[in-house]
Amino acid sequence: MKRLFLSKINVAVIGASGYTGVELLKMLIAHPIFNINYVATSEGDVKLSDLHPSLLDVFECDVQKASSKEVSEKAELVFLALPHKTAMVFVKELMELNVKVVDLSADYRLKLETYEKHYTAHTDSANLKNAVYGISELNREEIKKASLVANPGCYPTSTILATLPFMDYRVKNSPIIIDAKSGVSGAGKKCIATTHYVSINENMFSYNPFGHRHAPEIAEKLNISEDEVNFIPHLCPVTRGMLSSIYLQVEGEFDPLKVLKEFYKNEPFVRVRETPVDMKSVAGTHFCDLYAQKKNNVLFITSAIDNLLRGASSAAIANANLMMGLEEETALPTIAYVP
Amino acid sequence: MKRLFLSKINVAVIGASGYTGVELLKMLIAHPIFNINYVATSEGDVKLSDLHPSLLDVFECDVQKASSKEVSEKAELVFLALPHKTAMVFVKELMELNVKVVDLSADYRLKLETYEKHYTAHTDSANLKNAVYGISELNREEIKKASLVANPGCYPTSTILATLPFMDYRVKNSPIIIDAKSGVSGAGKKCIATTHYVSINENMFSYNPFGHRHAPEIAEKLNISEDEVNFIPHLCPVTRGMLSSIYLQVEGEFDPLKVLKEFYKNEPFVRVRETPVDMKSVAGTHFCDLYAQKKNNVLFITSAIDNLLRGASSAAIANANLMMGLEEETALPTIAYVP
Amino acid sequence: MKRLFLSKINVAVIGASGYTGVELLKMLIAHPIFNINYVATSEGDVKLSDLHPSLLDVFECDVQKASSKEVSEKAELVFLALPHKTAMVFVKELMELNVKVVDLSADYRLKLETYEKHYTAHTDSANLKNAVYGISELNREEIKKASLVANPGCYPTSTILATLPFMDYRVKNSPIIIDAKSGVSGAGKKCIATTHYVSINENMFSYNPFGHRHAPEIAEKLNISEDEVNFIPHLCPVTRGMLSSIYLQVEGEFDPLKVLKEFYKNEPFVRVRETPVDMKSVAGTHFCDLYAQKKNNVLFITSAIDNLLRGASSAAIANANLMMGLEEETALPTIAYVP
Amino acid sequence: MKRLFLSKINVAVIGASGYTGVELLKMLIAHPIFNINYVATSEGDVKLSDLHPSLLDVFECDVQKASSKEVSEKAELVFLALPHKTAMVFVKELMELNVKVVDLSADYRLKLETYEKHYTAHTDSANLKNAVYGISELNREEIKKASLVANPGCYPTSTILATLPFMDYRVKNSPIIIDAKSGVSGAGKKCIATTHYVSINENMFSYNPFGHRHAPEIAEKLNISEDEVNFIPHLCPVTRGMLSSIYLQVEGEFDPLKVLKEFYKNEPFVRVRETPVDMKSVAGTHFCDLYAQKKNNVLFITSAIDNLLRGASSAAIANANLMMGLEEETALPTIAYVP
């Protein structure tokens, strides 16, 4: 059923204080159909432009203390940008109140056993079963019908889009190497030693090698075992951006760029490049840029996304568009933060 | 006469390879009325996405070798983003061909004698006389009627908007101190020692103290003598952004924030802040953010703009909007590049 | 009395966890006479290389919980890198125990009434009276005889060295404008919103205009009233470095560079440049680089120091050298962090 | 034969204008035995402090136009920091003149056939045969006896030191993945599009995947075929620093940190860390920091060096020290550019 848009669709943002929160708001402000009708944080009681001074004279509203009851009276769909564990409490309530949810946390991304192994006990397994993993290039039709979409992690998005086209060429059971580089905004707004300017400026380092919780997410969505995924994230001195270098052992003769182009020929937000991709050409956009090159049986794929957009908030908008019967591309940013 | 927009207005961008060129294109792509019908550089013969890879799959066209004749067949208005001296050659031709021009160079900003003192001999003094200086907060009505608008310099824009509201409080003939900080994009795309990453990263310095050619532009537009303007620009390690600190000697009792708010109460693109302004809250937007504070008879005003937008390209779009009878704010960006 | 260096001099560092602490240690490790015999923080109980991983395999020791008693048994001189208010408690004890102190806090920099106006009640006014302000270019002989040296603030150091040579040319009672730019390390190691990488990267802003507590320090040492000092600090996206732009109204004919060169002709750590100074040429060194230029009666002076060295820790070493009868330049770094 | 140091040893630096040139000078200024007696560039005729303003008042001399004849009269050993192809012309002359040479170019690093395949025709194969590859951890004794040392490339240094200890555990013929990240100074002082601040700030990208000429150098020194080396360099927005992530397929049971510690137990300039290494802890030093971790049969090794020091100039000093009979560690920097 196609909806006639005589009126706007009211939406809510819960968790508006963080980086993904403000990115959601920035796109929703410009969205032709979605109407921001409720904005909340866990504390509430503040004006939006005090949380995000750049929005002064652009968009103003009172920020509420998050309440599922209230949001259900104000919005048909909610963007939930809360930490995992907190998120599932809200999702459970919101589902009962018949509000659609795009959840940006990790709480509904994984199968129950995978989740509980890597995160914590799950208190809403019923909804977990029905949640759809929100990469439209994989699950577009399911997303359209979903009430609850689990927005994917940034590292999994950049890795899965890069790797999936080549899974048929991969040597069975061979290790996948993912050497991923993230901007500092990926570490969140909290002030910690690692995000202090003096710590990360002029610096770079890997962290949590083999142990990051995005690894099982990658494995599950690529339908391989966790053992096969070797995921090493790095923090690097840029504000936003994610560059993932993926190394596969492959067999058979093929042209990597042709494979990518064929796989994504109908996808407007995946760009296949003729030369190695860079972070900046996708910063501020929903694009995932890909390039691949082969040497004997080693395939190198390099993937660039904006970690806060394609890796979080613009993916959420895309999912919400689909869930509400809109064109997927509505209000998705394509103009990069260059120069 | 209000124009009915049954059809789009064709516009051209000449000088599309530089930073201001790509900024123009980014806004024009999203512009609801202007249609990019001609794009040129001095060399031409290239695809737009090869010049600006971030535009791949967003907007594509052939880039021409600039020709006034051709542009006059293709566009009603031209954005000219060429170096000074080259610009006036094109402007002269374009005026004869009845094409409206927003000129982003310095060629039509100053009175003849000021120009020739600080730049070079002027070869188009006839049009110079009719050119309007394009800060809409100063000259809105003249811009609407103009065929040729001289787009202002970045330093003058940030300085003039900050200083003008206080000229009545200023002690006559007292020196105005302008300590301005610009991002590296202000130095242009050319690869020179100063713009090498290794030179300017983790560094900062003033350059050309008292001698920058934006000083006479500031003086002329503030209607004071060059002697009174003490302009010291600094280069700093950010890509885009301009922060100007202005120091005035003032007399009389007044509340600086009230003065600013009163002066700009009807201006949607000047924001008066309650605390010192920062570069990032205006990056990516047409806003000029202002804050002022007084200690005895010294007034400190701090002004932030995006040097490539309010300091160049979005100002050009605003001027073009006015020249073509559109609402000034059409397609002007308000959503900042944050976080 | 000249000391014979048959043996080393034992020194202590209290407050070793912060940025100035590690800078002190770096120079002391290379110091030919001073021997690090006691290192402490307020918590203690940690290995030095755990506090500062870059020192692994370079210099190792146990970090103690700070105790005046212990330090007096271990060291002839103490570098105290503690917050103000905490510092004066230790200084009082250490003076009684006959240990010499270089105090990097603000506690002994100002006259009693100035201190209490801008900081807090002083609990050690007796020692305050005898403390010597530690800029050797001003007070070399007094420092040599002092038991307690108050190490100057970073902004005052860069400002005073720049301004002092021109005080005779200054128009009486005219306002002094100081537009100072500091790297983020100046804000300390504490993780706060302002020092988060995402906040300050690609950004710049003034803070606390006219209200910074270094302004009265500047005024007192330049022997002028606080009213005459207009001090506006800015935070900028570099790790270390301080660039101060100072504007004076002057009278009389003089060549600013000649004045500087004459004033500092015997000073090895003040360099007068022929072109505007930059942060990077002094980063990692004890140098203060100066340049000045005049336009009519406005004098512009630009001063660059490393905020953590000349603005704190290398100044402390210089003072300690003098207090212990060594050559002032012993172990002071001159080789910059370039490229 | 141990030399008695009654007098200094005169050395020369040819190619003093670049980044490795100034790094050499910085260490030689502080060197207790080497005396800088000749400094040259290809143009000459300039004062050293005009080339490198940070050296003003630190070390001054006239920079000559490079001449082998002259240098042979002035120095016992030459540091040659010239581009490849130019270097071999000088080396040939200098060898005939009996001057020892540390050559920082690629001209003497590879076997003849490897060199000619990847670079150009070699015009000095006689000396090539006798050149020693200058990583002291591999070739210390040969270096001591050498007249000509080929200073290794930065990527090979960081990769070889990381990989060598594990070659026995590696699955035969399995691909080695090297995902390396270099600071911008590695691209040299030339102003090109890639090193423009605006291009690389807030950006990161791989370049020349599988095709970089350091790959055959790595292969040759690890004694494996070029086919087995999969080398992907990345440029990243830091001035100096190199972080290499290396992925090996391994077999057998072993503790990677123990292997590293055992292998480097007598090496003062390789530090084995308990957590992933970072660029900044080695910036400004001769250290190579290593960390390794295993997951099943995939081994991840992360290696950090200062690309300009351990990756070029401090390695050259170490080699020169050995060649002249000095302690290897003489004047090698250990104190990092932190914070």
**Neighboring chain D residues of B237 at a CB cutoff of 8 Å:** 197, 201
Is there a contact between C271 and C287 (Cβ–Cβ < 8 Å)?
yes
Give the DSSP per-residue string, D148-207. EEEPPPHHHHHHHHHHGGGTTTBPTTPPEEEEEEE-GGGG-SS--GGGBHHHHTT--EE-
Is there a contact between A197 and C195 if contact means CB atoms under 8 Å apart? yes
The conformational region for residue D85 under phi > 0 = left, psi -120 to 50 = alpha, else beta, is left
Beta strands A298-305 and A242-249, pairing class:
antiparallel
What does DSSP assign to residue A79? Answer: E
Q: Which of D198, D199, D239 sits opposite B198 (nearest CB)?
A: D239
A107: Cβ contacts below 8 Å, ≥ 6 apart: A84, A85, A87, A88, A91, A115, A119, A122, A124, A128, A150
ipTM: 0.96
Is there a contact between C179 and B175 if contact means CB atoms under 8 Å apart? no
Does any CB of chain D come closer than 8 Å to the CB of residue B188? no
**Neighboring chain B residues of D236 at a CB cutoff of 8 Å:** none
A154 is catalytic: yes
Is there a contact between B270 and B264 (Cβ–Cβ < 8 Å)?
yes
- Chains in contact with chain A (at least 3 beta-carbon pairs closer than 8 A): B, C, D
Selected residues 233-262 of chain A with any CB under 8 Å from a CB in chain C: 237-239
Q: Which of A58, A273, A339 sits opposite B22 (nearest CB)?
A: A339
**Neighboring chain A residues of D277 at a CB cutoff of 8 Å:** 205
Selected residues 281-300 of chain A with any CB under 8 Å from a CB in chain D: 283, 293, 295-298, 300
Of C270, C213, C282, the C-alpha closest to C243 is C282
Amino acid at C203: N
Beta strands B148-150 and B100-103, pairing class:
parallel
A339: nearest CA partner in chain D: D198
**Neighboring chain B residues of D199 at a CB cutoff of 8 Å:** 197
Q: Is the pLDDT of residue B2 over 60?
A: no
pLDDT in tens, D125-144: 999 999 999 999 999 999 99
pLDDT in tens, C60-81: 999 999 999 999 999 999 999 9
Beta strands B100-103 and B77-80, pairing class:
parallel
D296: nearest CA partner in chain A: A227
Q: Is the pLDDT of residue B6 over 90?
A: no
D96: Cβ contacts below 8 Å, ≥ 6 apart: none
**Neighboring chain D residues of B201 at a CB cutoff of 8 Å:** 184, 197, 201, 237-239
Mean pLDDT confidence for C121-131: 98
pLDDT of residue D6: 55
**For residue B36, what are its two tokens?**
């990019």
Q: Is the pLDDT of residue B1 over 90?
A: no
**Neighboring chain A residues of C20 at a CB cutoff of 8 Å:** none
**For residue A63, what are its two tokens?**
């920020």
Does any CB of chain A come closer than 8 Å to the CB of residue B30? yes
Q: Is the pLDDT of residue B83 over 50?
A: yes
Does any CB of chain B come closer than 8 Å to the CB of residue C181? yes
DSSP-based three-state secondary structure for B240: coil
pLDDT of residue B7: 80
Q: Is the pLDDT of residue D1 over 50?
A: no
DSSP-based three-state secondary structure for C316: helix
Is there a contact between A184 and C195 if contact means CB atoms under 8 Å apart? no
CB neighbour class for A239 (10 Å; exposed up to 12, middle 13-18, buried from 19): buried
How far off is chain C from A193, nearest CA to CA, in Å? 6
pLDDT in tens, D309-328: 999 999 999 999 999 999 99
D293: nearest CA partner in chain A: A209
Q: What is the C-alpha separation between A55 and A63, in angstroms, rounded?
A: 13
How far off is chain D from C159, nearest CA to CA, in Å? 21
Q: How many Cα atoms are found within 13 Å in the side-chain-facing hemisphere of C306? A: 30
- Per-residue pLDDT band at A7 (split at 50, 70, 90): confident
What does DSSP assign to residue C254? Answer: -
Does any CB of chain B come closer than 8 Å to the CB of residue A279? no
Residue of B61, B154, B191, B288 with catalytic role: B154
**Neighboring chain C residues of B257 at a CB cutoff of 8 Å:** none
Is there a contact between C337 and D284 if contact means CB atoms under 8 Å apart? yes
Superfamily of domain C9-130: NAD(P)-binding Rossmann-like Domain (3.40.50.720)
pLDDT in tens, A94-109: 999 999 999 999 999 9
Compute the mean pLDDT over every residue in chain A, rounded to the nearest whole number. Answer: 97
Does any CB of chain C come closer than 8 Å to the CB of residue D311? no
Mean pLDDT confidence for A136-151: 98
Is there a contact between B336 and A30 if contact means CB atoms under 8 Å apart? no
Q: What is the C-alpha separation between C287 and C269, in angstroms, rounded?
A: 5
DSSP H/E element including B289:
strand B288-295
Compute the mean pLDDT over every residue in chain B, rounded to the nearest whole number. Answer: 97
Is there a contact between D57 and C281 if contact means CB atoms under 8 Å apart? no
Does any CB of chain A come closer than 8 Å to the CB of residue B138? no
For an interface test with C, give the residue of B231, B278, B338 to mutate (most C CBs within 10 A). B278
D194: nearest CA partner in chain A: A278
Identify the CATH number of the domain defined by range C155-307. 3.30.360.10
CATH class of the A9-151+310-323 domain in this structure: alpha beta
- Chains in contact with chain B (at least 3 beta-carbon pairs closer than 8 A): A, C, D
Does any CB of chain A come closer than 8 Å to the CB of residue D280? yes
For an interface test with D, give the residue of A194, A200, A205, A296 to mutate (most D CBs within 10 A). A205
pLDDT of residue C5: 54
Domain boundaries defined on chain A: 9-151+310-323, 155-307
**Neighboring chain A residues of B190 at a CB cutoff of 8 Å:** none
Low-confidence winner among A6-15, A230-239, C203-212 (lowest mean pLDDT): A6-15
pLDDT of residue D7: 80
pLDDT of residue C1: 40
Sheet harboring D298-305: ordered strands across?
D205-206, D229-235, D176-182, D242-249, D298-305, D288-295, D270-272
